Chain A
Amino acid sequence: MNNIWTIAKKEIKTYFSSPIAYAVMFVFSALVGFFFYSIMWWFNSQAMQLAQNPTYYQQLNINQQVYSPLFGNMSIILLLMLPLLTMRLFSEEKKSGTVELLYTSPLSVWQIILGKYLASLIVLLAMLGLTGILSIFTFAFGNPELIPLLAGYLGLFLMGAAFIAVGIFFSSLTENQIVSAILTFGALLLFWVLNWASSAAGAIAKSVLDYLSIFQHFEDFTKGIVDTTHLVYYLSFIFLGLFLTHSVIQSRRWR
């Protein structure tokens, strides 16, 4: 555990002693802020228009009409941002030769992977945490429900964690950071749009494609639903990503 934390600490320091973490966090917050503003603006105008009509006015729901689309937008921004966060994790060490230091230290491969993974999760948490500031306004001037809101954040976190696991895998494959990011984008986008093909597919293929699609599992979270199916999906996704990374690194042994 100590070893994992040592690696994580080093990675976090690297993130914050270079502009990467700041750039990613800044752009992420700025974009989320913009989406929040525009969705809020639309929601306000709706509220103004419906103010005369109590029945409709009652149906206005800030969780469903502001947070749900906002979470959808945030998930896409995460898809664009996280590969940039993970691309350097192994690629940079391979390129600069520092892997040799890591692999000749008495650390297990799992400790190295988990340390790096943990560091990225912490940056992800910071990114999501920053957007929490926006909710100060909704709670001050509105009445959103807390639990569905937290469910949405949990969904974002799990999805981001899955993205990072994919990113760390591709980073272990190449010493080129750009290639690592491109492969991660490609894989994530593919999983994202997988169920678009399901309308043309047969019944079994459809259910498989639907099950594999990342976004399919995310929607419920934005509505405030935490379903174990989805939890299992994301956790297995994460495990698979990390396991493949481990296999790639171990494969040095039999190449």
Chain B
Amino acid sequence: MIEVAGLTKKYGDLLAVKDLSFKVDKGKIWGLLGPNAAGKTTTMRILTGYLPASDGKAVVAGYDVFEQPNEVKRIIGYLPEVVPLYPEMTVVDYLKFVAEIKQVPAAKKKAAIDKSVEAAGLEPVRGRLIKNISKGFRQRVGIAQALIHDPQVLILDEPLIGLDPAQCKDIRDLIKRLKGEHTILLSTHILAEITQTCDGATIINEGMLMASGTLDEIAASVKVREGVVLKLRKGGEEAATQWRRIPGVEKVGRSDKEYTVEWSKGQDPREDLVRIAVDKGWGLLEMRSLAMNIEDLYLKIVSGGTAQ
């Protein structure tokens, strides 16, 4: 649905996006993840036709963003980072204005407004002036305006920024409800949002592609070691020493009764670990796979290293 190939954007000498390529399939919620100033907003602005690219190609639903900007604008709903609101308008007047500039036919206008008011949960503030409603509702108005012309593609730039946890959850649920009908690309610098909402993500840093795919795919591409955490009733330092001797095991860490055993990818000494523990009667209480600390993973990706 969204295809970006070799996208490059220069602001004068500053290279904001460098040879970026990724793909989002129809009906997916896809994250564009990266630290601040990674080029997320620039990429989205190019996709929506707000900014021209310096080089490369971007295709949305079969339309080239640079060749057929008007077709693309018709099928994209866009929530910019700063929600584009007119504070002096009421919520409904604002949505009416957006419906008109998005070329919603006059006959369908009322239905379109009602539908997005309902989808975004704006019923309680319908007639209020935008300047008088809370930040959470403003964000919803932003989403409602992006939805108003029932676009195939939704591009949401930091939709959860500045919201409290309850509001975040609301918006997250709202985005999940929109899945299927719409293909959604959302940007964020918070990893948890990706794991909670998205089917997959493209991670960028300093304008460059770092990783792209489903979360498992990304994890697999980054992780070179695997491991387990074992819990023993007794075992002491001896267990650690014994396990270290198993071929393939690279590292055994111990904190009280918990042992972290790591090995290089491709090896699998799990059975040996357990056998020894049982033979020696250390009292194996628990074994779980070493939870990949996804936050670490992300930090690792954006700090440039792909190997540990």
**Bound form: Cα–Cα A17–B76 in Å:** 30
* B11, B51, B93: most-surrounded residue (chain A CB, <10 A): B51
Q: A104-B78, A105-B73, A106-B70 known; A6 and B86 CB under 8 Å?
A: no
- The secondary-structure label for the interface of chain A is helix
B50 lies within 8 A of A100 (CB): yes
Q: A104-B73, A106-B73, A106-B74 known; A6 and B85 CB under 8 Å?
A: no
**Bound form: Cα–Cα A254–B70 in Å:** 18
Q: A6-B97, A18-B88, A97-B82 known; A106 and B103 CB under 8 Å?
A: yes
Contact of A105 among B82, B85, B102 (CB under 8 A): B102
Residues of A close to B82: CB separation below 8 A: 96-97, 100
B100 part of interface (Cβ distance < 8 Å): yes
A17 lies within 8 A of B80 (CB): no
B102 lies within 8 A of A17 (CB): no
CB A11 to nearest CB in B, in angstroms, measures 10
Taken residue by residue from 88 to 126, chain B's Cβ proximity to chain A (1 for < 8 Å, 0 otherwise) reads as 110001000110111100000000000000000000000
B73 lies within 8 A of A14 (CB): no
**Bound form: Cα–Cα A45–B97 in Å:** 55
* B83, B84, B101: most-surrounded residue (chain A CB, <10 A): B101
CB B72 to nearest CB in A, in angstroms, measures 9
CB B49 to nearest CB in A, in angstroms, measures 6
Residues of A close to B45: CB separation below 8 A: 100
Residues of A close to B78: CB separation below 8 A: 100-101, 104
Residues of A close to B84: CB separation below 8 A: 96-101
B269 part of interface (Cβ distance < 8 Å): no
Residues of B close to A18: CB separation below 8 A: 88
A252 lies within 8 A of B73 (CB): no
Q: Would you list which residues of chain A between 92 and 121 have a CB under 8 Å from chain B?
A: 96-107
B48 part of interface (Cβ distance < 8 Å): yes
B52 lies within 8 A of A254 (CB): yes
Chain A residue, CB-CB nearest to B83: A97
Contact of B50 among A98, A104, A254 (CB under 8 A): A104
Residues of B close to A2: CB separation below 8 A: 100
Size of the A side of the interface (Cβ < 8 Å), in residues, is 25
B152 part of interface (Cβ distance < 8 Å): no
**Bound form: Cα–Cα A17–B89 in Å:** 8
**Bound form: Cα–Cα A2–B50 in Å:** 22
**Bound form: Cα–Cα A255–B49 in Å:** 14
B145 part of interface (Cβ distance < 8 Å): yes
Taken residue by residue from 228 to 257, chain B's Cβ proximity to chain A (1 for < 8 Å, 0 otherwise) reads as 000000000000000000000000000000
Residues of B close to A107: CB separation below 8 A: 101
B86 lies within 8 A of A7 (CB): no
* B45, B48, B50, B98: most-surrounded residue (chain A CB, <10 A): B50
CB A22 to nearest CB in B, in angstroms, measures 13
Residues of B close to A17: CB separation below 8 A: 88-89
Taken residue by residue from 36 to 69, chain A's Cβ proximity to chain B (1 for < 8 Å, 0 otherwise) reads as 0000000000000000000000000000000000
B101 lies within 8 A of A13 (CB): no
Q: Would you list which residues of chain A between 1 and 23 have a CB under 8 Å from chain B?
A: 2-3, 6-7, 10, 13-14, 17-18
B101 lies within 8 A of A100 (CB): no
A105 lies within 8 A of B101 (CB): yes
**Bound form: Cα–Cα A255–B89 in Å:** 33
A101 lies within 8 A of B73 (CB): no
Contact of B80 among A7, A13, A100 (CB under 8 A): A100
Taken residue by residue from 217 to 233, chain B's Cβ proximity to chain A (1 for < 8 Å, 0 otherwise) reads as 00000000000000000
**Bound form: Cα–Cα A185–B74 in Å:** 39
Q: Would you list which residues of chain B between 47 and 89 have a CB under 8 Å from chain A?
A: 48-52, 70, 73-74, 76, 78, 80-89
Taken residue by residue from 140 to 169, chain B's Cβ proximity to chain A (1 for < 8 Å, 0 otherwise) reads as 000001000000000000000000000000
Residues of B close to A13: CB separation below 8 A: 88-89, 93
CB B89 to nearest CB in A, in angstroms, measures 7
**Bound form: Cα–Cα A97–B49 in Å:** 15
Residues of A close to B145: CB separation below 8 A: 101
Residues of B close to A254: CB separation below 8 A: 52
CB A179 to nearest CB in B, in angstroms, measures 20
CB B12 to nearest CB in A, in angstroms, measures 8
**Bound form: Cα–Cα A103–B51 in Å:** 9
CB A127 to nearest CB in B, in angstroms, measures 21
CB A202 to nearest CB in B, in angstroms, measures 43
Q: Would you list which residues of chain A between 139 and 177 have a CB under 8 Å from chain B?
A: none
**Bound form: Cα–Cα A10–B101 in Å:** 11
| Shortest 7 CB-CB contacts between residues of A and residues of B | A97-B82, A101-B84, A98-B84, A105-B101, A6-B100, A100-B80, A106-B73
Question: What would be 8 A-B contacts, judged by CB atoms less than 8 Å apart?
Answer: A2-B100, A96-B87, A98-B85, A100-B84, A103-B50, A104-B48, A104-B76, A105-B73
Extra A-B contacts (14), CB below 8 Å, given A6-B101, A103-B50, A106-B103: A6-B97, A13-B88, A13-B93, A14-B88, A96-B86, A97-B83, A97-B84, A98-B85, A100-B78, A101-B80, A104-B73, A106-B74, A252-B52, A253-B52
